[in-house]
Structure 1
Amino acid sequence: MNDLNKINPMYQFSLKAFSVVFQRAVKKAKPEEEVRQRVLNLTDSITFSVFQYTTRGLFECDKLMFVTQLVFQVLRMNNEINPAELDFLLRCPIQPGVTSPVDYLSNQAWGGIKSLCCMEAFRNLDQDVESTPNRWKRMVESECPERERLPMEWKSKTSLQKLCIMRVLRPDRMSNAIRNFVEEKLGSKYTMGRSLDFASSFEESDSATPMFFILSPGVDPLKDVEEHGKKLGFTLDNKNLHNVSLGQGQEIVAEQALEVAAKNGHWVILQNIHLVARWLKTLEKLVEQHAEQSHENFRVFFSAEPSATPETHIIPHGILENSIKVTNEPPTGMNANLHKALDNFSQVSLEACTQENEFKSIWFALCYFHAVVAGRSKFGPQGWNRPYPFNIGDLTISVNVLQNYLEANRKVPYEDLRYLFGEIMYGGHITDDWDRRLCCSYLEEFIKPEMMEGKVFLAPKFPLPGNMQYEGYHKYIDDNLPGESPYLYGLHPNAEIGFLTQTSEKLFSTVLEMQPRDEAVGEEGGMTREEKVCAVMEEITGRLPDQFNMSELFAKAQERSPYEVVALQECERMNFLIREIRSSLRELSLGLKGELTMTSDMESLQNALFLDAVPDGWTKLAYPSTLSLALWFSDLLTRISQLEAWSVSFCLPPVVWLSGFFNPQSFLTAIMQDIARRNKLPLDSMRLQCEVTKRNLEHFSSPPREGAYIHGLFMEGAQWDTQKGIIVPAGMKELTSPMPVMYIKAVPASKQDTKDVYRCPVYKTHQRGPTYVWTFDLKSKEKPSTWTIAGVALILQV
């Protein structure tokens, strides 16, 4: 996947502007001996001014991408960076098939160390870690490893080399490590958060320079416009401030407001311009026209939501280029979100209901619930399978419904209220069944009769407060709410590690795509881009096996049992993928030799191979995967090996690698079909039953009489206790834990064991959502809602 294309076009414009201006400035240093001093001067003057201009209107996470690319450009021009080390930092290749010899490092981290050892500067790193594990363990398990000194002689390594080591040992801390690196090389001014007030930004605007507010959830920047307008005498009452919310035919009103304002020196606020796509070209022309001949006090303020993808971007570049882009960060953390939820009410609101105690208790629980569902999205798919636009309107309407129900009922209708909040008010946004279950689970824990007895805890060590005055609730939050952690959302601390790791991966993959394409990579910068692509092509074509002979396989499979049908389908799909890989690489090889004209598809393939990403053309015929190309190809060969072994005699393997299927649902369905046929039972009355064994893969030599043994699943959000046979909380820093071999069989629905179980969803990848496979019932002593809120799921590929 091309991460650079994921950047919103509003941000892409800033990126392009930055790159162009920076490169032009550097090229002004014509004599070679002046380059070094020129770059140093740029660092202190032009670079920072360009950086400030081009990053205005960016969120802090996107700003970090730009400043990271900036520091690498400066160091490259100053010959202070090793291309091979930078390439490793951005790619972090993992050597597959290795086992970590130390318990505090995952196999993936050890694979990264083994890859790092291929460079001369890191020779014997693996031996040092293995021979002195305790010295490295302190740094790996530190809360702030980026501030720790590396053991032994490794502490004398350069800053970039230390980043490479940190990249493989603690990828979740790389955002912090990069900030420290930027501060060291360029100064703290590049990493300090912007806290410019609206008045300062307004001073830079004029009648020809509008202000463009990029909206973010939970933030209303136009309040700043109205408050500053009051100070300068521009208000709705004075009729010199025109506020137009676009949509539903308001374009004519907006045009009239612009004409009057340009003539008389008024202010015009045009909200949500992204809702009137067809009118935007007209708006661009009007703004350009009024900029030439208008009153000096004339000001225009736009607001729009950023588009989800580059394809849906509609804001004309003319508007973006000529505007001052401003973004206000949304509130972050439970404390800020909870205070913001309470800010929508007052003492009068709390006294509006006759059942005061009940109303205040449920009201505060609703505010906490709103802060949870809004803040949980930062944890990615483990938070919500899909993103949802929860907003303050959902909360205020829910509180109105609460008041009406309490006034109409002497006894609190807890179940009715939970249904209205979870299925209608908030549930109206939710499109995924598992997310709906999560939403309702929160409400079952927060809103129940026990809340009136002081027995409800909204988070660990944070009980529901009693009857207070309005300001008392704000003080209660400040005095009693624990520090920010996933526990406040019912999640395990590992969820934050996973979120931070994904953030750093996105940072580096985006910066990698911004690197110059003509620069050599590899050890000592010895390989050009084209040479690296050719090496990858040669590696893949040399190891890719031939296609399956489907004629022979169909002749072997005479019975066409459910399992044989699955095997044949998987072999056919694998043939399509193998054929596409081989033919696309052959075309690209001819194109690079000049024997074929390079097409856009061939260029995309070349770019993907260089970036160690799975090409889009292969992804369309393959299975969902989040692996890099090297690991993906290794995984592909393992899948082919399983099919080759299975297709020899079509006998079911002793233990089936469920993760190795294109369509794992088809194999699970085949289990039900096979048992239904054997026992002459209707298929629609059958259900799968899952039993987790206490044995590992090597202990099985034959398949079961009915059903199948499966392996290759990992648990995220918790772990399986093999001895107790139940789900238990995950170990610290163990983001996913492997499951033992599982026995899957089919039983009539009436005989299915549903007591003390957690209905655990199974997904193909940690992206969850559309990769859903099945639901396995796993034994648990905890309430199912505990694991639902913790986002516990089984993952087929990690």
Structure 2
Amino acid sequence: MTNEPPKGLKANMFRSFNSDPLVRDKFFTNAFLYSDMANKCWLRGVFALVFFHELKMFIAQSKSIPFRGHVYLTGECNYGGRVTDDKDRRLILSLLNMIYNPTTIEMDNTQISFLSKPSKIRRKLSLITIWHLPRTAKSTRLNSLEYISTFALSPHPEVFGLHENADINRNNKETSSLIGGVLLTQTDLMASVKASGAAGGASVDPAFAICKEILSRLPQAFNVAEVGQKYPVIYTNSMNTVLRQELIRFNRLLDYIRKSLANVQKAIQGQIAMIPELERTHSSMVIGKLPADWLKRSYPSLKPLGSYITDFLMRLEFFQRWIDEGEPSVYWLSGFYFTQSFITGVLQNYSRKNTLQIDMVEIKFEVTKFESEVDKLPSFGAFIRGLFIEGARFNRETQELDESYSKILFDTLPVMYFRPTLKQTQDDGHGGKEEATKGRTIYDCPVYKTSERRGILSTTGHSTNFVMYMQLNCSKTPMHWINRGTASLCQLDD
């Protein structure tokens, strides 16, 4: 027996107010202070009396509410130990700052006072003005439930700090999940495979044609030995090492895909047994899904099978041009198997050239006015392309983050310049950094490999899906873009 959690803000609040101890009316009153000692509640009453006496003394003596302390206690102490991803913890702290701040209690008087009448208090909970705490002098469970019943069944995404496009994104993912589940229920596919294999009729199986078409498009493996002679390991240029390591990874993946396709064809023809691994690969190929056994040996991807093969061939072509023509003027960051190796290579080249420790060097991110290509190589650092941004768009005129257009879920970032430099920034504690030289605020935009934004927690404390933080100019506060869920992606899902 399972108990599915409710869906939606209204249903979740109803569930909270109908659970213990909120379901008890005594929770909303001071009646528990006078509980009958015969019911063994005297200890709770004494403790509550002491607590409220201390609270009353604190309120009388304090001139301001310690909002910062409340944020720390709730975000770091209550939830911090349960949230392992630092990006999620950053979002929790940002949401708490929306609630635990003086603007939550807006009064007619300019000075906050605990003696103000409840009718003068408007406690806003979101950017939408209709969402606020109830204006009642006496808060009871029934009053709270009556107020919650006035909420909309489907609240506007702005209630959570999200853009209206978040609804479209959520609906797309739910629809894809539903269709994927329906396709997995088609159990008659394997029956047709076994029948085709027994009769030797491989031509009627759609997977056989898919394997044949993909195999015809796959190129030969890279000759790593020849590449090593053309681009030897040099202390001053780490990109040669990055290139060689990437070719080894792609050769390994290419070899596995080629063998897997050939074995599926043989299994359909009845030449070898249809082992569980081949059966899973066959089932995924028929419904256009990327086989799970391929994904275990691949770079992260949420693309369907057709789009994955196209993307895979584009990556191989990118490295082949690198081999034939030399280092590209603009690196396709999304095309790397292990993106962090390229970033480390950029830092190593700069630190070795200037005889610096690599942990003293960081990358500054400058958005250029080029959309795909540039004229020449930079003297140091690198130009990169291929990044997308979700939850915002990049305004080409103002050169800063701006609100997304309606119904446009993603925006393509222009060519960016990775400029290595000595560390000179200070964290402002709200997901942004303030440059010591220019005194302007920028947003620490996380870069992920896929839109899933999660992976396996690595030893560095980051998810394996996380690449780096990228600093982007913004006119609004960094907390605004944290609540928007603004992030950069190396690839899309289609």
Taking the aligned partners of 1:532 and 1:646, their CA distance within structure 2 comes to 36
Query: What corresponds to 1:605 in structure 2?
Result: 281
* Deviation digits for residues 261-315 of structure 1 (CA, Å, limit 9, x no counterpart): xxxxxxxxxxxxxxxxxxxxxxxxxxxxxxxxxxxxxxxxxxxxxxxxxxxxxxx
Query: What corresponds to 2:471 in structure 1?
Result: 777
Taking the aligned partners of 1:467 and 1:639, their CA distance within structure 2 comes to 62
Quick check: 1:738 aligned with 2:412? yes
Taking the aligned partners of 1:427 and 1:441, their CA distance within structure 2 comes to 13
Alignment check: 8 A CA contact 2:103 2:124 kept? no
Quick check: 1:416 aligned with 2:69? yes
**1:636 Cα deviation from its structure 2 partner:** 0.4
**1:665 Cα deviation from its structure 2 partner:** 1.1
**1:557 Cα deviation from its structure 2 partner:** 1.5
Partner secondary structure for residue 444 of structure 2: strand
Describe the shift of the 1:338–1:590 C-alpha distance in structure 2 as closer, same or farther (beyond 3 A). Answer: closer
Query: What corresponds to 1:682 in structure 2?
Result: 357
Query: What corresponds to 2:125 in structure 1?
Result: 458
Partner secondary structure for residue 441 of structure 1: helix
Taking the aligned partners of 1:485 and 1:450, their CA distance within structure 2 comes to 21
Taking the aligned partners of 2:132 and 2:101, their CA distance within structure 1 comes to 14
Query: What corresponds to 1:697 in structure 2?
Result: 372
Q: 2:12 aligns with which of 328, 337, 362?
A: 337
Q: 2:230 aligns with which of 556, 565, 572?
A: 556
Describe the shift of the 1:555–1:408 C-alpha distance in structure 2 as closer, same or farther (beyond 3 A). Answer: farther
Query: What corresponds to 1:669 in structure 2?
Result: 344
Describe the shift of the 1:475–1:664 C-alpha distance in structure 2 as closer, same or farther (beyond 3 A). Answer: same
**1:530 Cα deviation from its structure 2 partner:** 5.0
Taking the aligned partners of 1:669 and 1:511, their CA distance within structure 2 comes to 43
Taking the aligned partners of 2:103 and 2:27, their CA distance within structure 1 comes to 24
Describe the shift of the 1:695–1:408 C-alpha distance in structure 2 as closer, same or farther (beyond 3 A). Answer: farther
Describe the shift of the 1:406–1:449 C-alpha distance in structure 2 as closer, same or farther (beyond 3 A). Answer: farther
Taking the aligned partners of 1:352 and 1:340, their CA distance within structure 2 comes to 23
Query: What corresponds to 1:216 in structure 2?
Result: 4
Taking the aligned partners of 1:745 and 1:352, their CA distance within structure 2 comes to 61
Alignment check: 8 A CA contact 2:371 2:414 kept? yes
Query: What corresponds to 2:449 in structure 1?
Result: 764
Quick check: 1:576 aligned with 2:246? no
Alignment check: 8 A CA contact 2:10 2:151 kept? no
Taking the aligned partners of 1:419 and 1:647, their CA distance within structure 2 comes to 52
Query: What corresponds to 2:86 in structure 1?
Result: 433
Taking the aligned partners of 1:606 and 1:540, their CA distance within structure 2 comes to 13
**1:481 Cα deviation from its structure 2 partner:** 6.9
Partner secondary structure for residue 440 of structure 1: helix
* Deviation digits for residues 352-408 of structure 1 (CA, Å, limit 9, x no counterpart): 49xxxxxxxxxxxxxxxxxxxxxxxxxxxxxxxxxxxxxxxxxxxxx99x9798457
**1:540 Cα deviation from its structure 2 partner:** 0.8
Quick check: 1:621 aligned with 2:288? no
Quick check: 1:469 aligned with 2:469? no
Alignment check: 8 A CA contact 2:322 2:328 kept? yes
Taking the aligned partners of 1:767 and 1:737, their CA distance within structure 2 comes to 17
Quick check: 1:537 aligned with 2:211? yes
**Farther-moved stretch of structure 1 (782-791 vs 504-513):** 504-513
TM-score, reference length from structure 1: 0.49
**1:528 Cα deviation from its structure 2 partner:** 8.2
Quick check: 1:792 aligned with 2:486? yes
Taking the aligned partners of 1:451 and 1:513, their CA distance within structure 2 comes to 48
* Deviation digits for residues 602-661 of structure 1 (CA, Å, limit 9, x no counterpart): 222222221212223321221000011111000000000110011225x33111111111
Partner secondary structure for residue 409 of structure 1: helix
Map 1:261-272 → 2, pairs under 5 A:
none
Alignment check: 8 A CA contact 2:8 2:154 kept? no
Partner secondary structure for residue 170 of structure 2: helix
TM-score, reference length from structure 2: 0.78
Map 1:365-380 → 2, pairs under 5 A:
none
Taking the aligned partners of 1:536 and 1:405, their CA distance within structure 2 comes to 73
Describe the shift of the 1:673–1:456 C-alpha distance in structure 2 as closer, same or farther (beyond 3 A). Answer: farther
Partner secondary structure for residue 656 of structure 1: strand
Query: What corresponds to 2:36 in structure 1?
Result: none
Taking the aligned partners of 1:403 and 1:620, their CA distance within structure 2 comes to 57
Partner secondary structure for residue 710 of structure 1: strand
Partner secondary structure for residue 769 of structure 1: coil
Describe the shift of the 1:405–1:453 C-alpha distance in structure 2 as closer, same or farther (beyond 3 A). Answer: farther
Query: What corresponds to 2:159 in structure 1?
Result: 488
Which blocks of at least 5 consecutive residues in structure 2 are unaligned? 32-47, 108-121, 194-200, 427-433, 456-464
* Deviation digits for residues 44-71 of structure 1 (CA, Å, limit 9, x no counterpart): xxxxxxxxxxxxxxxxxxxxxxxxxxxx
Taking the aligned partners of 1:655 and 1:541, their CA distance within structure 2 comes to 30
Alignment check: 8 A CA contact 1:339 1:474 kept? yes
* Deviation digits for residues 119-162 of structure 1 (CA, Å, limit 9, x no counterpart): xxxxxxxxxxxxxxxxxxxxxxxxxxxxxxxxxxxxxxxxxxxx
**1:338 Cα deviation from its structure 2 partner:** 3.0
Taking the aligned partners of 2:390 and 2:490, their CA distance within structure 1 comes to 10
Alignment check: 8 A CA contact 2:387 2:413 kept? yes
Alignment check: 8 A CA contact 1:653 1:702 kept? no
Partner secondary structure for residue 125 of structure 2: strand
**Farther-moved stretch of structure 1 (531-540 vs 336-345):** 336-345
Partner secondary structure for residue 702 of structure 1: coil
Alignment check: 8 A CA contact 1:761 1:773 kept? yes
Q: 2:175 aligns with which of 504, 518, 543?
A: 504
Taking the aligned partners of 2:73 and 2:345, their CA distance within structure 1 comes to 40
**Farther-moved stretch of structure 1 (761-770 vs 582-591):** 582-591
**1:479 Cα deviation from its structure 2 partner:** 5.1
Taking the aligned partners of 2:299 and 2:100, their CA distance within structure 1 comes to 41
Partner secondary structure for residue 458 of structure 1: coil
Query: What corresponds to 1:380 in structure 2?
Result: none
Query: What corresponds to 1:750 in structure 2?
Result: 424
Structure richer in helix, relative to its length: 1
The aligned amino acid for 1:337 is N
* Deviation digits for residues 504-534 of structure 1 (CA, Å, limit 9, x no counterpart): 11211221222221569xxxxxx98953111
Alignment check: 8 A CA contact 2:202 2:269 kept? no
**1:477 Cα deviation from its structure 2 partner:** 4.4
Alignment check: 8 A CA contact 1:652 1:703 kept? no
Describe the shift of the 1:483–1:611 C-alpha distance in structure 2 as closer, same or farther (beyond 3 A). Answer: closer
Alignment check: 8 A CA contact 2:387 2:488 kept? yes
Map 1:164-175 → 2, pairs under 5 A:
none
**1:418 Cα deviation from its structure 2 partner:** 1.4
Partner secondary structure for residue 246 of structure 2: helix
Taking the aligned partners of 2:58 and 2:222, their CA distance within structure 1 comes to 69
How many percent of aligned residue pairs carry the same amino acid?
Answer: 31
Aligned pair count reads 419
Partner secondary structure for residue 274 of structure 2: coil
Query: What corresponds to 1:139 in structure 2?
Result: none
Query: What corresponds to 1:514 in structure 2?
Result: 185
Taking the aligned partners of 1:542 and 1:480, their CA distance within structure 2 comes to 57
Describe the shift of the 1:687–1:542 C-alpha distance in structure 2 as closer, same or farther (beyond 3 A). Answer: same
Q: 2:265 aligns with which of 582, 589, 597?
A: 589
Computed over aligned residues only, the root mean square deviation of the Cα atoms, in angstroms, reads 2.8
Describe the shift of the 1:336–1:446 C-alpha distance in structure 2 as closer, same or farther (beyond 3 A). Answer: same
**1:598 Cα deviation from its structure 2 partner:** 2.5
